[in-house]
Amino acid sequence: MSKPVTNRREFLGTVGAMGTASVLAGTLGSVTGFAAEPKEKLAIDGGKPVRENGLHYAPYGPQFFDDTEKNELIEVLESKSPFRWRGDESKVLKFEKAYSEHIGVKHALGVTSGTTALYTAVAALEIGPGDEVILPAWTWYADYDAIVLSGALPVFAEIDNSFAIDPKDIEARITPRTKAIIACHLQGTPADMDAIMAIARKHNVKVLEDCAQCCGGRYKGKFVGTIGDIGINSFQLSKTITAGEGGAVVTNDPKLFERAIRFHDVGVIRSPYSEALNGGILAAFAACNFRMNEFTGAVLFGQVQKLGEICKRLRANYRKVRDGIADLPGLKLRKTPDVEGDLGVGVFIDFGTRARRDRYIRAMNAEGVAASGPGGSAVLPADERIEKKSTIHPDWPTFNTPQGKAIKYGAESCPKTINYLDRHAGVIMDPNFDENDLQDIIKAIRKVYTAMGSA
Ligand SMILES: Cc1ncc(COP(=O)(O)O)c(C=O)c1O
């Protein structure tokens, strides 16, 4: 933090002294094409940037690595026993217990990634050929691939301005073949679970919560992942806590848990889960090996102890920035169905059009405060391989049913999704941003937003 802090009060004082009109006129340069005013000139117009050396978030979890993870890892090395099934000493087991207690769910199972957690959850729900699964048009590839690789048919619904599936667009897509809805909590914001659960219960379909981008997020007092029938998480580098890779499946349903255990471990159920589930009630079935190893378990056991702190800091920083810009005229923030439970990953603003949004991003980056459009996911129906319905074998069941042949993907199938994404830009928060960082973010947003005006 080498540069002197300009707090919001001082900044507002400057704006007040100059008069709003001159600030507006003075900062419109290449942002909107009007003449520039030297004092509050935007950096993009050659003015002094808010932040000389640039401000950018870093992956969250590794910032909190310390002796906890190190000592856990050393214990695994010294044990010479990095395979998870090693009784009560298992680091994976310890992580599973700590994580399930933290989020308040009966069962948690560690797996190798968020992707394999999705495959496991889909298998646990007995989703397969002939079934349909509704998912948002904006999410990560793994949600779509898990459905296709089960043989079922992915049916996309539009998102709303929370970037999550729009509950209003789900019901029209439900058919007698719908087996499940995947609710994804994206870029830290919970999906509207009350509305999603009401539709699911009405139509007797299951709900899979994808919490990969919202680990530690809550919805109306409950942790995401504990509201639907089953949930998944990812511990890949860009997630709230991480071991580089890793994933988890969570559920309160013992039968779904048993199916998940069996699917992730060659169809069997081993100690201590065989005792915990009284040997289980199901027979073995064709399955995979998605077992988490002890090194990953060790790091995640350390990381889960920091989850609460990371989330607390993120939320506090997010709240400060939101409060610091709340009075901007006409400000439209990304919707969140639970502002307290929202992880606070990004402060996103709706600019109404793509052109204005892009101008904001360019101007913010010139000010030295990184801003970007919504990230971490893709508009899946517009992706070439999805539009072409490419699979691993020409006779793959997904697209060989009448419904599979008839379904059309492509950008034209999700215009609202594309429109919402195009209009928003945000600054991604970091749990370790300090007061100076937050004031610079607030200053840059206010400066650029004010310069852009409302048109
Ligand atoms: C929403 C969502 N689901 C699933 C995944 C897959 O997780 P992983 O990368 O651990 O396989 C990701 C990864 O970014 C994701 O963002």
**Max CA pair span of the chain:** 76
The percent helix, strand, coil of the chain (3-state, each to 5) is: 45, 15, 40
| DSSP code for 236 | S
Total-model pTM = 0.91
Ligand 1 touching residue 210 (CB < 6 A): yes
DSSP secondary structure string, 112-181? S-HHHHHHHHHHHTT--TT-EEEEESEE-HHHHHHHHHHT-EEEEE-B-TTSSB-GGGTGGG--TTEEEE
Report whether 88 contacts 272 (CB < 8 A): yes
Ligand 1 touching residue 233 (CB < 6 A): no
Beta bridge partners of 195: none
Mutate to test the pocket of ligand 1, among 213, 264, 288 (most ligand atoms within 8 A of CB): 213
Give, for 234, the enclosing helix (H) or strand (E).
Answer: strand 230-234
Total Cβ atoms within 10 A of residue 376: 18
Please confirm whether the linkage preceding 337 is cis (ω < 30° from 0): no
pLDDT of residue 454: 65
Tokens of 301: 């056991």
67 CA to middle of ligand 1, Å?
27
pLDDT of residue 453: 78
250 CA to middle of ligand 1, Å?
15
Beta bridge partners of 26: none
Residue 378 backbone dihedrals phi, psi, to 5 degrees: -135, 155
Of all protein residues, the one whose alpha carbon is nearest to atom 10 of ligand 1 is 114
CATH class of 62-306: alpha beta
Instruction: Give helix then strand counts, H and E, for the chain.
Output: 17, 13
Ligand 1 touching residue 140 (CB < 6 A): yes
pLDDT of residue 455: 59
Atom of ligand 1 nearest to the CA of 234: 10
Report whether 292 contacts 50 (CB < 8 A): no
pLDDT of residue 34: 36
Report whether 255 contacts 33 (CB < 8 A): no
Ligand 1 touching residue 142 (CB < 6 A): yes
Tokens of 79: 């044990």
pLDDT of residue 15: 28
380 CA to middle of ligand 1, Å?
14
183 CA to middle of ligand 1, Å?
13
353 CA to middle of ligand 1, Å?
28
Total Cβ atoms within 10 A of residue 241: 24
Cα three-residue angle 348-353-354, rounded to 5 degrees: 80
Tokens of 5: 């802090």
Ligand 1 touching residue 418 (CB < 6 A): no
Report whether 260 contacts 271 (CB < 8 A): no
pLDDT per position as a tens digit, 264-276: 999 999 999 999 9
pLDDT per position as a tens digit, 318-364: 999 999 999 999 999 999 999 999 999 999 999 999 999 999 999 99
CA–CA gap between residue 180 and residue 147 (Å, rounded): 10
Atom of ligand 1 nearest to the CA of 236: 10
- Of the candidates 375, 374, 385, 382, the residue with the CA atom closest to the CA atom of residue 350: 374
Q: Which amino acid is at 387?
A: E
Q: What residues are annotated to the active site?
A: 239
Q: Does domain 8-58+307-376+417-452 have CATH number 3.40.50.2300?
A: no
- Of the candidates 59, 106, 86, 96, the residue with the CA atom closest to the CA atom of residue 248: 96
Q: Where are the domains of the chain?
A: 8-58+307-376+417-452, 62-306
CA–CA gap between residue 271 and residue 260 (Å, rounded): 15
Report whether 148 contacts 118 (CB < 8 A): no
* Residue 50, CA atoms < 13 Å, CB-side half-sphere: 27
9 CA to middle of ligand 1, Å?
41
Ligand 1 touching residue 247 (CB < 6 A): yes
Tokens of 445: 């947003």
Ligand 1 touching residue 188 (CB < 6 A): no
- Of the candidates 364, 369, 337, 370, the residue with the CA atom closest to the CA atom of residue 351: 364
CA–CA gap between residue 117 and residue 249 (Å, rounded): 6
Mutate to test the pocket of ligand 1, among 140, 144, 240 (most ligand atoms within 8 A of CB): 140
Report whether 194 contacts 169 (CB < 8 A): no
Ligand 1 touching residue 187 (CB < 6 A): no
Tokens of 326: 């709340």
Distances in Å between the Cα of 346 and the Cα atoms of 161, 186, 213 are 14, 11, 12
Q: Which amino acid is at 298?
A: A
- Of the candidates 101, 139, 308, 301, the residue with the CA atom closest to the CA atom of residue 217: 308
- Of the candidates 243, 265, 271, 269, the residue with the CA atom closest to the CA atom of residue 255: 269
Task: Tell whether the torsion through CA atoms of 321, 322, 324 and 330 is positive or negative.
Answer: positive
pLDDT in tens, the chain (455 residues): 333 323 333 322 332 333 322 222 223 333 443 333 344 799 999 999 999 989 999 999 999 999 999 999 999 999 999 999 999 999 999 999 999 999 999 999 999 999 999 999 999 999 999 999 999 999 999 999 999 999 999 999 999 999 999 999 999 999 999 999 999 999 999 999 999 999 999 999 999 999 999 999 999 999 999 999 999 999 999 999 999 999 999 999 999 999 999 999 999 999 999 999 998 999 999 999 999 999 999 999 999 999 999 999 999 999 999 999 999 999 999 999 999 999 999 999 999 999 999 999 999 999 999 999 999 999 999 999 999 999 999 999 999 999 999 999 999 999 999 999 999 999 999 999 999 999 999 999 999 999 997 65
Atom of ligand 1 nearest to the CA of 245: 10
187 CA to middle of ligand 1, Å?
11
Ligand 1 touching residue 145 (CB < 6 A): no
Non-local CB neighbours of 441 within 8 Å, separated by 6+ positions: 55, 321, 324, 347, 369, 427, 433
Residue 194 backbone dihedrals phi, psi, to 5 degrees: -60, -50
